[in-house]
Every structure is written in C-alpha cells, then in structure tokens.
Amino acid sequence: QVQLVESGGGLVQAGGSLRLSCAASGSAFSINAMGWFRQAPGKQRELVASITSGGSTNYADSVKGRFTISRDNAKNTVYLQLNSLKPEDTAVYYCHAGIVMAVAPGTLLYEYDYWGQGTQVTVSS
C-alpha cells in the first residue's frame, strides 16, 4: 500500500515563507507527475503547482514567482516552497501523485491517483 505523508504547514505572517514536503512510501511503485493542490473554506480545490517525473513544472498564475515546486526522485518526495505569502494563500494544501503499480502479483501496471492527508497553511495579515 502506498501512502503520501505531508508535513510543513503552519501559521505565518504575510510576507513570510513556508516549505511543504510530501513523501511517498510503500513498495514496488513508480511515480509520474506530482503536484500540490489547495482548498480554502467554501472554495473548490485548485491546482497550485505540478512537476513531471522529468522535472518540468507548471504553476497557477496566482502563485507564479512566489512558489517553487521541486522533487527528489530518489526519496519519492515533492516539495513546495512558499515565499511572499499572502492572506489569500490560506488553505489546506494537498499533495497528489500519479502512482504506477500493479495492485497484485500478475496484474497490469496502472496509474492510480494518491492524495496526502492535507496540511493547513494560515497566513495572517
């Protein structure tokens, strides 16, 4: 069974920084794209940033120039550096990974969606 475990959220003042981490654990899998989503109260979950297995990145316009996504493939970990934080960045942040695996011996490889448990980021004004 694969798990994604997040860490690094917290309370920070506007203009401050945080670094989120998300590590995948388990056995016999590989990871395609990884990403960070966020969901603020009363709003839909939105994609913040994504990174392919080769390192290509994409960002939501609202975070370009302030957030940086990176990954360590050897550690099966994705990071999100959040700089110049604004109160509107307040949300629960979720990591996502496309996990490629066979669910049982002899079955086909397939990509499954996995999510972290979410970590709260609160930015005070």
Residue 28 above 80 pLDDT?
A: no
Nearest to 99 by CA among 9, 16, 3: 3
According to the model, what pLDDT value does residue 103 have?
85
Question: Rounded distance, CA 65 to CA 79, Å?
Answer: 16
By percentage, how much of the chain surpasses pLDDT 90?
89
DSSP string, 48-113: EEEE-TT--EEE-TTTTTTEEEEEEGGGTEEEEEE-S--GGG-EEEEEEEEEEE-SSTTSPPEEEE
Residue 12 above 90 pLDDT?
A: yes
Q: What is the pLDDT of residues 52-91, one digit of tens each?
A: 999 999 999 999 999 999 999 999 999 999 999 999 999 9
